[in-house]
Structure 1
Amino acid sequence: MAATLGNGKTWPANVVLCFFLLSVHLNEGQDTVNNGQEATSSQKLEVDKLLRKLNKPAVKSIKMRRTFRPEVKIESKMSSKSKPIVQPWHQVGSCPNRTIPIRRTRKEDILRASSIQQFGKKNLKTVPLRPYVAGQGGHEYASVFVKGEKYYGGKATMSVWQPAVQKDEYSISQIWVISDADSKNLNTIEAGWQVYPQLCGDNATRLFTYWTSDSYKSTGCYDLLCSGFVQLDAGIAVGSRITPLAVYGDGNSQYGVTIMIWKDVINGDWWMQYGEDKVMGYWPSSFFSHLSDSSTAIQLRGEVVKESEGQHSTTQMGSGHFPSEGQGKAGYFINIKYINGQNQLVPAGNLVPYVDHPNCYDLRTDHNDDWGNFFFYGGPGRNPNCP
């Protein structure tokens, strides 16, 4: 069966048609220009050019690829009493068949970046050379990782919060698929949630993806702001807000998102699943050097990128509370698994913890029958023990 376009042309049934016409769904309020500065004439020309590229009203056809997911068993009782994670734009409509939702990029978004060329990319001054080395560029971590074998993906459920964030800083919770055999050309695939006002223009908690194949120097970007991640699912917009959020102290309102990233054993691409059934899309294997084969580590972490000097930042990680407060109060990653060479999801035992400022942000690993291998994490940042 074929799909028919308005001009009478037809496309094969195995083609997804992506329309970049969805601002009505995803225009989420006004932003301000960084530092209140007006753009120069040359900046305006560059911004307009980039906006036309990102928001162009064109049809893009994406050939559907077969994807072989890992052997998955239904997870344990841990879904808690949470509702499905939704996005606010769902309240006003949905995308037509064979389209995907894309958050509209505005002039203000671009002008908040350090430069137009850096829009959608991580700040090179604050990216780590390796994900588990202390004292790099303002990053502070509370994380666990598995390392020492070849890995073909990972999966976990992470609670979703809205940590308070200082100006020009951000707070992240994510799963990281890494190949660091060559530190000068680190390959990563990243997905999770973050609060990042400089990128997004507000303090909302948003779903994000990122990738790089050269240690963030020139390749990769957030979400769909450059070539890389190929989205196929029409129900979730990367870069858009997610709700509901976990409520501190309420055991019945500990909402979480499940993310799985895995390598297709047939064509080598890296796929992302959101929840238990939404296959979001994929990163083509051709974009990577070392990840074209496998990853050397899987990491799950809370992360704060801070700019403040002198006193420690008050940017929160996770719920903003320490892991010692436990269930219902601290952030968590649960049912942590990796994918082995036989395309099987395996419980990730022997989790290696990594915390660089435990008086500011910390974690505690544990195991039980419902949550499998898990950890609580987070912290408030500045406090009497973290001045």
Structure 2
Amino acid sequence: MDLSSSIICILLHSLVFVSLIYSNNSLKIKKPFVNQTFRSEDELYKLNESIAIRLKQLNKPAVKTILSPDGDIIDCVLTHQQPAFDHPLLKGQKPLGPPDIPKGNNQMDNFNESAQLWSLSGESCPDGTIPIRRITEQDLLRASSDSRFGRKFSIMGSNSHQHAIQYVQDGEFYGAQASLNVWNPHGETPDLFSLAQMWVMAGTFEKDLNTIEVGWQIDQRFYGDRRTRFFIFWTADAYRNSCYNLQCPGFVQTNKDIAFGAAISPISTYNGKQFKISLSVWKDVKTGNWWLRYGYKNVGYWPSSLFTNLKDVASKVHWGGEILNEQYPKASSIQMGSGHFPEEGWQKAAYFNNINVLNSKRDYWVQPTNLQNYADSPNCYNVKGGVSRNWGTFFYYGGPGRNKNCL
């Protein structure tokens, strides 16, 4: 990027972003801008240089680059050069071969399965590579600091994250799966955050929680837009050091067709056609690693060595929706799911179906028992479940947020 481009970038962001300086290979927070609309060429050069260094750290060399219709840049990176192998525990390793696939009541099919926008043009990454969504200068500038980039946002001491979920707990769970239809929820907020996902967990919240999370999300602060995107997330220390997608090294990707953080297309429409994604997370009986499957595609795995409490088995599993309400305790206008309550049902409310857990032998999917419903604010977002012959265990969830009964 030349100097004139740098000046334009600084002018655009000077009123809303803190000044960043590079120190010890990391961008740090300085004092906010005060009458510093114009900065010296030396300051601009240093800032531009620090961002360039950080982007080089975050983005791996590509053997092929694909431009997505939504403007995303997808880099095809050699599998042995992916971020996972920057982790101290994984250095020098190579991706493992495919795992044994559990059998049983999974009922996974390709009916109205959503794809990823970047791949709809027919472009693909070559064998021996994986697709990685490129991190840009604008992505870094949206973050309050480099240490917060790619991490889950929370407001300490509040109930800002609100949920509508089904869950099982106090057991031994070796995997979870479900199909969930895909929506694009809205909200009157500058930084929209709304998602649907599975949580596979062990440990104690706010202390030593280990969790694997996978689903679809809108996170305007992270991605810079309001597109619905496929994501993963994991933590081994109760969210203190953890990241979305591949921002923190750890997850080993083996699939060349799925890009984390890429936009999903098509999505469901109210009273219209429904589109879904089918996800499975399970502990491989041979290696003990936690594998991720998207439809019929193995995507990759979290090595068991990354975890403490999830090293052996999960103690609870959640399925459902979540929003971030930065105005809590005031009600939010952010939609969860389709933005409609569970009672509206098919083609109107968001759903999870074919909900299963893995048996103790880790070879067969079964319907969970003792499922419970939970909603932080049922007048804003709720959940309602059941069991049917065609859908297995299922539930509808979500809501509009602020309404006459939710203030």
TM-score band, normalised by shorter chain: 0.7 to 0.9
Q: Give the drift of 1:216.
A: 0.9
Q: Which residue of 2 aligns with 1:109?
A: 139
Q: Which residue of 2 aligns with 1:15?
A: none
Match status 1:299 vs 2:350 = no
Q: Which residue of 2 aligns with 1:131?
A: none
Distance 1:293 1:351 in 2: 22
Q: CA separation of 1:254/1:139 partners in 2, compared to 1, >3 Å: closer, same or farther?
A: same
Give a deviation string over 1:352-380, Cα, whole Å, max 9, x none: 11111000000101111000110000100
8 Å Cα contact 1:155/1:337 also seen in 2: yes
8 Å Cα contact 2:79/2:129 also seen in 1: no
Give a deviation string over 1:125-177, Cα, whole Å, max 9, x none: 35xxxxxxxx9530111001111211111000011000003223410100000
Amino acid in the other structure paired with 2:289: D
Q: CA separation of 1:149/1:114 partners in 2, compared to 1, >3 Å: closer, same or farther?
A: same
Larger Cα-atom Rg = 2
Distance 2:159 2:15 in 1: 23
Of 260, 263, 281, which residue of structure 1 is paired with 2:280? 260
Pairwise CA RMSD = 2.2
Q: CA separation of 1:81/1:292 partners in 2, compared to 1, >3 Å: closer, same or farther?
A: closer
Q: Which residue of 2 aligns with 1:144?
A: 166
Give a deviation string over 1:53-86, Cα, whole Å, max 9, x none: 121316452623244345323754x85952x311
Of 187, 212, 215, which residue of structure 2 is paired with 1:192? 215
Q: Which residue of 2 aligns with 1:243?
A: 265
Match status 1:173 vs 2:192 = no
Distance 2:227 2:153 in 1: 20
8 Å Cα contact 1:209/1:238 also seen in 2: yes
8 Å Cα contact 2:17/2:142 also seen in 1: no
Q: CA separation of 1:33/1:164 partners in 2, compared to 1, >3 Å: closer, same or farther?
A: farther
Amino acid in the other structure paired with 2:128: R
Distance 1:304 1:267 in 2: 35
Q: Give the drift of 1:311.
A: 3.9
Match status 1:274 vs 2:294 = yes
Give a deviation string over 1:5-52, Cα, whole Å, max 9, x none: xxxxxxxxxxxxxxxxxxxxxxxxxxx859644754545344322210
Q: CA separation of 1:35/1:289 partners in 2, compared to 1, >3 Å: closer, same or farther?
A: farther
8 Å Cα contact 2:210/2:310 also seen in 1: yes
- More displaced 10-residue stretch of structure 1: 199-208 or 141-150: 141-150
Q: Which residue of 2 aligns with 1:7?
A: none
Distance 2:144 2:359 in 1: 40
Q: Which residue of 2 aligns with 1:73?
A: 104
Q: Which residue of 2 aligns with 1:371?
A: 391
Structure-2-length-normalised TM-score: 0.79
1:89 aligns to what SS in structure 2? Answer: helix
Determine what percentage of the aligned residue pairs are the same residue.
Answer: 40
Q: Give the drift of 1:88.
A: 1.5
Q: Give the drift of 1:115.
A: 1.0
Q: Which residue of 2 aligns with 1:125?
A: 155
2:104 aligns to what SS in structure 1? Answer: coil
Q: CA separation of 1:303/1:96 partners in 2, compared to 1, >3 Å: closer, same or farther?
A: same
Give a deviation string over 1:79-131, Cα, whole Å, max 9, x none: 5952x3111211341111111111010011112112111111112535xxxxx
Q: Which residue of 2 aligns with 1:224?
A: 246
Match status 1:85 vs 2:114 = yes
Q: CA separation of 1:265/1:324 partners in 2, compared to 1, >3 Å: closer, same or farther?
A: same
2:52 aligns to what SS in structure 1? Answer: helix
Q: Which residue of 1 aligns with 2:94?
A: 63
Q: Which residue of 1 aligns with 2:129?
A: 99
Matches within 5 A, 1:326-365: 326-343=345-362, 344-365=364-385
1:332 aligns to what SS in structure 2? Answer: strand
Matches within 5 A, 1:202-213: 202-213=225-236
Amino acid in the other structure paired with 2:246: L
Q: Give the drift of 1:232.
A: 1.0
User: When you count strand as a share of all residues, which structure comes out higher?
Assistant: 2
Amino acid in the other structure paired with 2:314: S
Distance 2:245 2:14 in 1: 21
8 Å Cα contact 2:232/2:245 also seen in 1: yes
Distance 1:223 1:105 in 2: 12
Amino acid in the other structure paired with 2:146: I
2:234 aligns to what SS in structure 1? Answer: strand
Distance 2:382 2:270 in 1: 17
Amino acid in the other structure paired with 1:242: I
2:120 aligns to what SS in structure 1? Answer: helix
Distance 2:178 2:14 in 1: 35
Match status 1:312 vs 2:331 = yes
Structure-1-length-normalised TM-score: 0.83
Q: CA separation of 1:222/1:310 partners in 2, compared to 1, >3 Å: closer, same or farther?
A: closer
- More displaced 10-residue stretch of structure 1: 139-148 or 86-95: 86-95
Distance 2:20 2:359 in 1: 52
Distance 2:329 2:205 in 1: 34
